[in-house]
Amino acid sequence: MERPELPLPQLHAFVVLAEELHFGHAAARLGIAQPPLSQQIRRLEDKVGHPLFRRDPGGAALTPAGRELLPAARRALTDLADALAAARAVGSGEAGRLRIGFSASLALTVLPGLLDTFRQRSPAVRLDVREMTSAPQVAALLERTVDVGLLREPPADEPRLRFRTVLTEPFVAVLPAHHPLAGRRTVRLERLADEPFVLLPREEGPQLYDRITGLCAGAGFTPAIAQHAVEWQTVCALVGAGLGVSLAPESIRRIRLRGVAFRRIEPGTARTRVAVAWRADDPDPLVHRLLEAVGDGHPAWNG
């Protein structure tokens, strides 16, 4: 690509003159006097090396060379004006694209409300929403394949990212419906000590995993993992099939499955955090718009 030879202001004058075919009128439309316009055109013609207009009494007319130049000049001007407007819209966060990763368990709780308020405020923004567990979200944020994450139990040792808590919720025990413990309103944690557990694999979300095993440790036992499943949906299904019990954030109660019971646990103080995550240095205004939406549009969700 070589350095541009034709200044845009001259091309602008050229296009307007080509439309008016009259130096006086064109100058008026450009908001300048007539002699400067003559100069602009002359300079442009000098650079092209050939006349672009025939001047005859009564007006001007394009030469073949001028006819050749006109469409490109017009296109370049409108293209640039459009692109500038688009770039400004993107820059100001009125338009663009935002890639959001989210944990599947949030698809039925915070996510819909969040997307809703955001879309209402920024209808021109395209949202790419992709389901992924916590650890991949962190990785995706760092390698910039995702702009915002919505995850559980944000890692504390990640200074390149920022987190903001969206909500906290208690844990519940997930039990087969026919299980003896399902007969009571609440379940004491230590009663699960001898039960086989069904959990997400630790790699998918180390923080949440450690949180859960930590709860068990607090109740004096180490859970025996009988089975892994990568989605809460599956965890519940396996519990319902009698493969074991589980501990889960309360919001997965939304997953209604035959043969599965959810019970509050005792002590009920332990809560799990759901947070939005973003790159600490990300200047993208869309990210900050989304954060506002998180702050304001408080989830119409209650347990």
Q: Give the footprint of DNA on this chain (CB under 7 A).
A: 7, 9-10, 13, 22-24, 30-36, 38-43, 55, 57-60
Give whichever of 33 and 224 is closer to a second copy, judged by the CB atom: 33
Other Cβ atoms within 10 Å of 185 Cβ, number: 7
Among 27, 37, 66, 235, binds a second copy (CB under 8 A): 66
CA distance 27 to 37: 6
Query: How do strand 148-152 and strand 96-102 relate by DSSP bridges?
Result: parallel
DSSP string, 119-167: HHH-TTEEEEEEE--HHHHHHHHHTTS-SEEEEES--SS-TTEEEEEEE
Is residue 47 within 8 A of residue 13, CB to CB? The reply is no
Residue 82 binds which entry of a second copy, DNA, none, with Cβ cut-offs from 5 to 8 Å by kind?
Answer: a second copy
Is residue 72 within 8 A of residue 5, CB to CB? The reply is no
Check binding of 65 to a second copy (CB under 8 A): yes
Interaction residues for a second copy, span 15-44 (CB under 8 A): 15-16, 30
Give whichever of 35 and 71 is closer to DNA, judged by the CB atom: 35
Interaction residues for a second copy, span 268-287 (CB under 8 A): 281, 283-284, 286
- For the chain, report the end-to-end CA distance as a whole number of angstroms: 60
Among 8, 33, 177, 300, binds a second copy (CB under 8 A): 8
Among 60, 69, 237, 260, binds a second copy (CB under 8 A): 69
Among 37, 41, 96, 216, binds a second copy (CB under 8 A): 96
**Helix or strand or coil: residue 292?**
helix
Q: Which residues bind a second copy (CB under 8 A)?
A: 1-9, 11-12, 15-16, 30, 48-52, 54, 56, 63-69, 71-84, 86-88, 90-92, 96-97, 281, 283-284, 286
